Structure 1
């Protein structure tokens, strides 16, 4: 169990550094030192080193500035390895120095240190790493066309010239990225996945269903203006389903670990 938690924690922390750290090498160094200290005091130094290696491979396989060369398959492999680690390795009986003073209670009972690390790692992964997975899935499905690759005109009637917009910009407007209307996705996605995970673990299924339905209702007016292309609708469906699967998968992982 501790292996899965540390891998997810290392991957999630690396992606947070890539997204928010002004100087990445300082962020990577700081995260590495903190995680190594955590591994040392929890008697999990070797699993932590393995997790850092997995985090390094993740950064290479899932770049944030360009299309992922392997698509979202690294995420699938990480999920399989995490599930395998939870299934085959349960919580340890001892957790080193930190285990001697560890005491965490919840409404469902005591929370072992290994389970807490797994839940923390899953939560950190849902923040930014899951965004990269969703983007890789969207890129793999070709649900949008980048502006720089749109050399041919759109096979539709020319859009009316908008007042205040130069004629040279009309082609760019016609092939605008469908994701341009979803500016809050980078924030909405992590919040949504965290809520999916919490509500699923709390067995609040009616609230979960209402939240997911509300998202579709809120987005419907914008999607309905998509016309005949269906690009926005496809983007919304693929992105939402992948995001929900990641959130539900994280909840299932923590639930299985808690009941194993």
Structure 2
């Protein structure tokens, strides 16, 4: 159990450093020192070293500046390792120096140190790392980009004149996906007249979904808490409310259905990650 908690904590902390630290090497060094100290006082130094190695591999396999070279598979392997560590290793009887003073009670009873670390690791992983997992799933679902005019859909002919200024404003309105926290797509000219290229470039279906890097993590944390608290009616109402709020924007998608597909794929993957984390913590608590 402690192995899974440390792995998720190391991966989640590394992604938070990549996203928010102004100098990454200082952030990585600080996280490594803190986690190694935590592993030392909890008599789990070797599991923490293993977790740091897996965190380094995760940073290499799931880059933030470009598409993941291995796609969705690093997340699958991480899930298998985490579930295996919880199912087969279980909780320890001795938690080292911290065991003498560790006391944490909840409405559901006393929370052991290993279980607390697993819950903490799962929560940290849901903040930023899950955004990368969802983005990898969406990148595998949609292979064309607005920067690739050869693979982009051909716009339908129209008899009405096209205003270049309106097309430029529409193309510049590309933003992050609210359901996934994905990165904004950037339109790049490929040659010829720049205004013509912008006019012919298709609009990214993820454009118009703003604030995904905040909405996604908050949604997953709420799903984790509500699931562990067995507040299933509130959970169902929250998930249904998200679809209702996004329905007007999705309904303007036209005949392509690209935005609706991005919304559904991103939301379902995000919910599966949060529910899986909740199930992992629940399993550890009841085993």
TM-score w.r.t. length of structure 2 = 0.86
Conservation of the 8 A alpha-carbon contact between 1:42 and 1:95? yes
Whether contact under 8 Å (1:153, 1:171) holds in the other structure is no
Alpha-carbon distance change, 78 to 106 in structure 1, aligned in 2, over 3 angstroms: same
Name the structure where helix makes up a greater proportion of residues: 1
Counterparts of 1:81 and 1:89, CA distance in 2: 11
Q: Cα distance, 1:155 vs. partner?
A: 3.5
Residue 176 of structure 2 is aligned to residue 149 of structure 1: no
Which residue pairs with 1:82 in the alignment? 82
Distance 1:115 1:163 in 2: 58
Consecutive unaligned residues of structure 1, counting only runs of 5 or more, are none
State the Cα deviation string for residues 112-134 of structure 1 (Å, max 9, x = none): 00000000000000000000000
Alignment match of 2:206 (pick from 162, 166, 179): 179
- Change in Cα spacing, 1:2 to 1:162, as seen in structure 2 (3 Å) is same
CA contact (8 A) 1:36 1:49 kept: yes
Matched residue, 1:214:
241
CA contact (8 A) 2:3 2:51 kept: yes
1:54-65 superposed matches below 5 A: 54-65=54-65
Is the Cα–Cα contact under 8 Å of residues 8 and 121 in structure 2 kept in the other structure?
A: yes
Q: Is 1:24 the equivalent of 2:51? A: no
Work out the number of aligned pairs and report it: 259
Q: Distance in 2 between matches of 1:186 and 1:39?
A: 30
Unaligned runs of 5+ in 2: 169-193
Q: Distance in 1 between matches of 2:198 and 2:260?
A: 20
Match of 2:70 in 1: 70
Measure the CA separation in 2 of the matches of 1:162 and 1:138.
31
Structure scoring higher RCO (CA < 8 A, sep ≥ 6) equals 1
Aligned to 2:162: 161
1:112-162 Cα distance to aligned partner (Å, 9 max, x none): 0000000000000000000000000000011x6322112466232358634
Give the TM-score, by structure 1 length.
Answer: 0.95
The CA deviation at 1:170 is 6.7
